């Protein structure tokens, strides 16, 4: 068993035991995610490495277990083992100016600790780096990469273009694995998505309550939910979140006891172990009540029509795609509706699509009286993390609030 396989197996085992003692939404979520991680090593499934916004429902309906590379990068940082792979990537010539989510995975692939993927599928959005790194991984394993050109704008033509690419992706998978798509399964996953969506929307609505029933940790890295999308466990996880928060609100229980400040978190959390959340909670009573990326921006999917079309619409309407307007609207809306006192922008090092927009974030949130702090952190590379300096800035910001 490789180190990574062991890691996921242990994670799954540990959480299973904890769940037997007490079921919490967070535990259930991480448990299901660890099982996804473990699927990478399941010989009955074909494995696909992807970038984050790829339709996993299609993969699952073809017996392909997908994992997005940023997820693995984040896992490694969280487990404290990312550093050696970063160094490996840098020794191979990958610049330290690039995003560490991607550098970690390239280093891991070069080091050979990852199981060889059967398929590589990447999308051009949300960023250039992801698809580039997937190409590099393709060269390491001598495999072609299927590229999904995510259209910039939602028009009838661009939707057709995307749907046709999904069809081409299905052919790509068929050619290489011999697996065909089960459209019944796919349609079921659309229905499952809608069910899960209902619960999630409710759960997120409940967090608008003052105080929020959720603590900063409950929703951490919830972006990983995309891996579960369309599955039965997804519905379960969503329902448990909804139930847990409903109960807490009913009983007047807060996620963070004595919540004084409510914060919006922009883009991704910091993956390696650090004290920021602790300090926010213990010193300032500050709670991250909403993560930008957790917002359910997509309408319920069309269960009667073409499932590929429904999935394409969800992909093409993501706020992070195309121009910045949708994203700014979402941020302002969240800041306002969740009654946030402030917003934290970790401004992940090497992230151009968000780095180029940081003034626009600040401006958009200023319109709703939510001040923003830009932290300039590398969310994945702890070697560059000067905790003292970051904490000082954070504390100054909180004092300002």
Partner 1 sequence: MYYAGIDIGSLSTETVIIDDNEKSIAYNIFPTGANSKIAAQKSFNLSLELAGISPDNLQYIVATGYGRISVPFASKMVTEITCHGRGAYHLFPGTRTIIDIGGQDSKVIKLEDSGKVIDFAMNDKCAAGTGRFLEVMARAMEIDLEEMGPMSLKSEEEISISSMCTVFAESEVISLVAQARPKEDIINGIHNAICSRISAMMERIGMEPEVSMTGGVAKNSGIVAKIKQRAGGKINVPDEPQIVGALGAALIARDIANRE
Partner 2 sequence: MVSKKNPAEPKEKTLTGMSRMGWFCSYTPLEIIHAALLFPVRITGHSDPIIKADSFMHPNMCQYVRSCLDTALAGGYDHLEGAVFVNSCDAMRRLHDAWRKYISPGFTFIMDLPKGRSDADYGYFRNELLKLKNALEKHFSIEITEGAIKQAINVMGESRSLYHKLSDLQKENPPLITGKELMQLASLYFTVGPYTWNKTAEALFKQKNDAKPTAVNRPRILLSGSPIHNPDIIGFIEECGMDVVYEDMCTGSRFFDMIVENTADTLLDLSRAYLDKSPCSRMLMIKERTKNIVDLANEFGAHGIIHHSLKFCDTYLYDVPQLKRHLTESGLKVLLVEGDCTLGSFGQLKTRIEAFAEVLND
Footprint (CB under 8 A) of partner 2, residues 203-222: none
Please report whether residue 350 would count as binding partner 2 according to CB under 8 A.
yes
The string of DSSP letters for 167-230 reads: HHHHHHHHHHH-----HHHHHHHHHHHHHHHHHHHHHHHHTTSSS-SS-TTTTTTGGGGGGTTT
> Which is it for strands 146-148 and 64-68: parallel, antiparallel or unpaired?
unpaired
Footprint of partner 1 on 338-397 (CB under 8 A)? 382-386, 388-389
d(CA 168, CA 349): 34
Q: Of 168 and 333, which has the nearer Cβ to partner 2?
A: 168
Name the residue nearer to partner 1 (CB basis): 23 or 386: 386
Distance of closest approach, residue 360 Cβ to partner 2, in angstroms = 7
Question: Any idea which residue has 């979140």 for tokens?
Answer: 241
CA separation for the pair 192, 301 (Å, rounded) = 10
Is 111 near partner 2 (CB under 8 A)?
A: no
DSSP reduced 3-state for 287? strand
Nearest partner of 7 among 50, 54, 40, judged by Cα: 40
Q: Which does 389 bind (CB under 5 to 8 A by kind): partner 1, partner 2, none?
A: partner 1
CB of 319 to partner 1, least distance (A): 33
| Binding partner at 359 among partner 1, partner 2, none, C-beta below 5 to 8 Å by kind | partner 2
Q: Which stretch in 86-94, 227-235, 305-313, 363-371 sits in contact with partner 1 by CB under 8 A?
A: 86-94
Nearer to partner 2 (CB atom), residue 37 or residue 122? 122
Q: Does 96 bind partner 1 (CB under 8 A)?
A: yes
Residue 115 near residue 40 (C-beta atoms within 8 A): yes
Cβ proximity of 238 and 91 under 8 Å = no
Query: Nearer to partner 1 by C-beta: 96 or 217?
Result: 96
Return the residue of 41, 154, 161, 297 that touches partner 2, per CB under 8 A. Answer: 161
Q: Which is nearer to partner 1, 164 or 389 (CB)?
A: 389
Is the bond into 104 cis (omega within 30 degrees of 0)?
A: no
Q: What are phi and psi of 343, to 5 degrees?
A: -130, 145
352: nearest Cα among 106, 127, 131, 122: 127
Query: Which does residue 28 bind out of partner 1, partner 2, none, counting CB within 5 to 8 angstroms by kind?
Result: none
How many of the chain's residues bind partner 2 (CB under 8 A)?
Answer: 44
Q: SS3 for 48?
A: strand
Question: In whole angstroms, how far apart are CA 244 and each of 21, 191, 341, 397?
Answer: 16, 23, 25, 32
Is 273 among the residues that bind partner 1 (CB under 8 A)?
no
Report if residue 140 touches partner 1, rule: CB under 8 A.
no
Answer with the entry of partner 1, partner 2, none that 124 interacts with (C-beta below 5 to 8 A by kind). partner 2
Q: Rounded distance, CA 342 to CA 15, Å?
A: 33
CA distances for 118 relative to 9, 129, 162, 317, angstroms: 21, 21, 23, 29
* Nearer residue to partner 2 within complex by CB, 8 or 361: 361
Residue 388 partner contact from partner 2, partner 1, none using kind-dependent CB cut-offs of 5 to 8 Å? partner 1
Closest separation in Å from C-beta 89 to partner 2: 9
98 binds, among partner 1, partner 2, none (CB under 5 to 8 A by kind): partner 2
The size of the chain, in residues, is 401
Which structure tokens are listed for 214?
């959720």
Bridge partners of 48? 66, 119
Handedness of CA 63, 54, 41, 273 (dihedral sign): negative
Residue 97 interacts with partner 2 (CB under 8 A): yes or no: yes
Q: Which of 168, 210, 253, 257 binds partner 2 (CB under 8 A)?
A: 168
Q: Write down the least CB distance from residue 73 to partner 2, Å.
A: 14
Q: Contacts with partner 2 in 115-154 (CB under 8 A)? A: 124, 127-129, 131-133, 135-136, 139, 145, 147, 149, 151-153
Residues that bind partner 2 (CB under 8 A): 92-95, 97-99, 102, 124, 127-129, 131-133, 135-136, 139, 145, 147, 149, 151-153, 157-158, 161, 164-165, 168, 323-325, 347, 349-350, 352-353, 355-360
Residues that bind partner 1 (CB under 8 A): 87, 90-93, 96, 382-386, 388-389
């Amino acid at each position: 068993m490789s180190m990574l396989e062991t890691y996921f197996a242990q994670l799954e085992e540990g959480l299973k035991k904890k769940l037997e003692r007490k079921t919490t939404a967070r535990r259930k979520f991480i448990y299901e995610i660890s099982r996804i991680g473990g699927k990478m090593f399941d010989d009955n499934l074909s494995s696909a490495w992807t970038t984050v916004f790829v339709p996993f429902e299609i993969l699952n309906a073809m017996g392909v277990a997908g994992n997005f590379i940023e997820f693995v990068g984040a896992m490694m940082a969280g487990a404290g083992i990312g550093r050696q792979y970063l160094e490996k990537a840098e020794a191979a010539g990958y610049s330290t100016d690039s995003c560490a989510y991607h550098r970690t995975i390239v280093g891991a692939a070069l080091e050979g600790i990852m199981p060889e993927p059967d398929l590589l599928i990447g999308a051009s959005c949300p960023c250039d780096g992801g698809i580039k790194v997937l190409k590099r991984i393709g060269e390491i394993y001598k495999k072609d990469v299927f590229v999904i050109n995510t259209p910039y704008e939602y028009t009838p033509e661009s939707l057709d273009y995307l749907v046709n690419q999904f069809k081409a992706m299905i052919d790509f998978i068929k050619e290489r694995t011999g697996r065909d798509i089960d459209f019944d399964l796919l349609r079921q996953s659309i229905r499952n998505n809608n069910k899960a969506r209902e619960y999630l929307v409710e759960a997120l609505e409940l967090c608008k309550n003052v105080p929020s029933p959720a603590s900063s940790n409950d929703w951490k890295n919830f972006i990983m939910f995309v891996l579960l999308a369309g599955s039965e466990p997804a519905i379960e996880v969503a329902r448990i979140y909804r139930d847990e928060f409903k109960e807490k609100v009913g009983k007047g229980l807060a996620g963070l006891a004595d919540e004084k400040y409510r914060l919006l978190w922009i883009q991704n959390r910091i993956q390696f172990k650090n004290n920021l959340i602790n300090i926010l909670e213990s010193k300032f009573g500050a709670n991250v009540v909403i993560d930008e990326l957790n917002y359910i921006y997509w309408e319920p999917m069309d269960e009667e029509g073409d499932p590929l079309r429904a999935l394409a619409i969800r992909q093409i309407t993501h706020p992070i795609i195309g121009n910045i307007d949708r994203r700014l609207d979402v941020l302002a809306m969240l800041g306002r509706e969740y009654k946030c006192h402030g917003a934290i922008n970790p401004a992940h090092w090497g992230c151009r699509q968000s780095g180029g927009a940081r003034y626009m974030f600040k401006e958009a949130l200023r319109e709703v009286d939510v001040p923003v702090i830009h932290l300039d952190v590398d969310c994945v590379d702890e070697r560059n993390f000067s905790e003292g300096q970051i904490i000082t800035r954070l504390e100054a910001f909180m004092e300002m609030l």
